Structure 1
Amino acid sequence: MKQIGVIIGQGPQPWAIIQQENGFGSLALSGVWDVMTERVLSHAQVFARIVNEADGRIVVAWQPCMMQEGQTWKITMDGIPAGGLYRLETCLQIDNNPALEWADRGDMIHHIGVGDLWVIAGQSNAAGYGKGPIQDPPQLGIHLLRNNGSWDLASHPFNESTASIHYENREGANPGHSPFLAFGKMVQQETGSPIGLLQTALGGSPLKAWNPDEDGYLYRNMMQIIASAGGKVRGILWYQGCSDCNPEESSSYLVRFEKMVQHIRHDLNAVDLPILTVQLNRFTDPASIESNQSWGKVREAQRQAALIIPEVYTVPALDCPLSDGIHNSPAGNMIIGERLAKIALAHIYTNALVSADAPNLSSVVWLHEDILPSICLQFANVSGYLIAIGPKDQVFSVEDANGEIEITQWEITGRNEITLRLSRSPEGDTFVHGAYEMNPSSHLPLDTGTYMPMLAFYKQKVRVAE
């Protein structure tokens, strides 16, 4: 059947989210127009407009398109206010008839929004492998660019590979629940902005697959997906590190992660692009000394990245439940998604009402008030006060030149302070670790202001108090 009126050849897909800049977005359209063969006309003009999908209210009034040879046309529509969902309409005006409501038909594009795009990157807990039921339904305004290259209403599983055009991040098994629908819902609720999610993660992927200075094949795939969505994004949602928890790669994790961040920001021409990260949860397989050290090094690198790289943030996950030995459960994912959303709201959307940061070790000093020395730990980002829900658990460990020093007791001695009491005097440099192991205690000190646990830390040198 011959198509008549206005036919859109290039433009946003249905369900697409367009990245806003300073509260507005733009889109480009092009196509052809045609009428029935027997129809005689002296002039034709293509128009385009944008209306609110919910009530038909005009958002951008009819705009004339540039008419070109061969019955083609094009237009760039600027100044589209952040929001939606919107419907894009076209029509064909014949012989300058001013009654555009009765102009010849034109193609439409439904359910588009102008908001913020967030890239999901990392390995399996970013891809989403939470198993089991939970109430986390789709919501209009939270959309997903699926692996088949088409925009859709976001729903789990995000990284499923039906008709995928991206073999680079095709999963070997069917994934499950992920944290990022919950993330999008909270951000949309607080900002009113539609959220578009670009899924680029792959289960089991090491950092070298994301670092252009090494292998970088998933980095290149991510950049291609970003380009297909318009080339501009609001930030990166990063959850990765388990595959680097080995002696060879854990020691260089921070340097390589920073290189990756530099490449992302350079290639996207966004020097302060936010990177929201998750400090690793746990792995419940039997652990060796080397594996414990490697997990500690990666978690510490993640903590340090948020301290030394501008606009990099991290949230804890060690208190989140699992659905197998290493993958966060749907309940755990809901917690992580909310924590990431609060970080975004507090630091990127500057919502001053949100407390978002987890307790983070800021000072490790000697106390010499008793016969045997003690160590005072102080924490930043405590909005309430610290509480111990597992005061007998082995959360902390201390080592010196002679090996591990037994902690006879640890207790909370101030609003943001924990004291470790030691069984013997140290020899030489002494270091403290907190929840560093592959499978540490689940009962970590909490901040009553947020009920988030402290971030894990590894090999922090004890210093003399000034």
Structure 2
Amino acid sequence: MLLFFSSLTLGQESKEPPSSTSLPPKEKFHLFLLVGQSNMAGRGKVTPADQTANPKVLMFDQTGNWVPAVDPLHFDKPKVVGVGLGRTFGLEIAQDNPDVTIGLIPCAVGGSPIASWEPGALDKATKTHPYDDAMKRAHQALQAGELKGILWHQGESDSSPEKAKVYEEKLHALIARFRRELNAPDVPFIAGQMGQFSERPWNEAKQKVDQVHQDLPNNVPHTAFVSSDGLKHKGDNVHFDAESYRELGRRYAKAYRELKKADTQP
């Protein structure tokens, strides 16, 4: 096993991605990009169990180090970030594949519309460039492992009449751009359904965005849709509660397994 140290510690530029954790061989390090807005980043209440390290599930932290994947994974809005779906997804996939290590690359930005996920686009609320930042982090992380999937949860910020009209075009373009830039033409792309909360009924625009997500497997190869049926919010009618995030992670893992199974069938 290889052990990488931060380039700051060495006092010189490192050609390898900095890390404070022992890493497996590249082909045994399966990486997943976590992108979208706040329901990907996670806003659930963190418990001690969510911060229990598993040596088979790592995360690429804000400083570019591989460290144990404990919640919160994301850092888009430090005052509110919490439990999300990523850690549970990682644990599920690690359990399926005991000979590999799972690496999570958290890049979601709360409140970001899909227009923020284009090259050069600025997210004014966080003063970040979601797409550019994600690609920079992904390329750095991919020095250590192999990309095996992209997990997407987003859409609330595009649930207005004008934005919903172009959402399908933008999402399809985004998937193609991710795959092209990351040199992964067939990498699985999994989109999750927005929260269905009776206290906040969907408008027509939100229904349109949801339909784009649901239609994805029929329109773009190697994609999947994950339902949010039965999941609960944390009291704000927007974000899932912690247990619903964990269940969502299990559903993403199930969708990933089914995509991989379909890819191996003749």
**Shorter-chain TM band:** 0.7 to 0.9
The answer as to 2:71 corresponding to 1:156 is yes
Tell me: higher relative CO, structure 1 or 2? Use CA pairs within 8 A at least 6 residues apart.
2
The correspondence of residues 81-230 of structure 1 with structure 2, limited to 5 A, is 114-131=28-45, 133=47, 135-136=49-50, 137-160=52-75, 170-171=76-77, 173-192=79-98, 193-212=100-119, 217-230=129-142
Structure with more of its chain in helix, by fraction: 2
Paired with 2:133 and 2:150, the residues of 1 have a C-alpha distance of 14
| Structure 1 partner of 2:20 | 14
Q: Are positions 1:338 and 2:240 aligned together? A: no
Equivalent residue of 1:301, what SS?
Answer: helix
Aligned alpha-carbon RMSD (Å): 2.5
> Within 1, Cα distance between the matches of 2:44 and 2:188?
25
Consecutive unaligned residues in structure 1, runs of 5 or more: 1-6, 19-24, 27-81, 83-113, 161-169, 353-466
Q: Take 1:335 and 1:205, find their aligned partners in 2: how far apart are those partners?
A: 23
Change (3 A) 1:190 1:8: farther
Q: Is the 8 A contact 2:46 2:242 kept in 1?
A: yes
Whether the 8 Å CA contact 1:207–1:244 is kept in 2: the answer is: yes
Normalised TM-score (structure 1): 0.48
The structure with more radius of gyration: 1
2-structure distance, mates of 1:16, 1:225? 19
Q: Structure 2 stretches of 5 or more lacking a match?
A: 1-9, 124-128
Alignment: residue pair count:
242
Is 1:310 matched with 2:225? no
Please state how far the C-alpha of 1:241 moved relative to its aligned partner: 0.5
Greater Cα offset, 294-303 or 132-141: 132-141
Q: CA deviation at 1:214?
A: 6.3
* Superposition deviation, residue 148 in structure 1: 2.1
CA distance in 2, matches of 1:270, 1:351: 14
The answer for the alignment partner of 1:276 in structure 2 is 190
What pairs up with 1:399-438 in 2 under 5 angstroms? none
- 1:328 is aligned to 240
Against the structure 1 CA distance between its residues 309 and 17, is the aligned structure 2 distance closer, same or farther, given a 3 Å change threshold?
Answer: farther
Q: TM-score, normalised by structure 2?
A: 0.82
Please say which of residues 216-225 and 341-350 is displaced more in the overlay. 341-350
Q: Deviations over 1:211-236 (max 9, x none)?
A: 33966931111110011113551111
Q: Is contact 2:217–2:223 with CA below 8 Å preserved after alignment? A: yes
Identity of aligned residues (%): 25
How has the CA–CA distance of structure 1 residues 349 and 142 changed in structure 2, closer, same or farther, with 3 Å as cutoff? farther
| 1:244 equivalent in alignment to 2:177 | no
Give 3-state SS (helix, strand or coil) of 2:147's partner. Answer: coil
Q: Give deviations 1:173-219, integer Å, cap 9, x for gaps.
A: 23110111111111111111210000100111111111339669311
Quick check: which one's strand share is greater? 1
Residues 321-376 of structure 1: CA deviation (Å, up to 9, x unaligned): 11121111111011111111111122226699xxxxxxxxxxxxxxxxxxxxxxxx
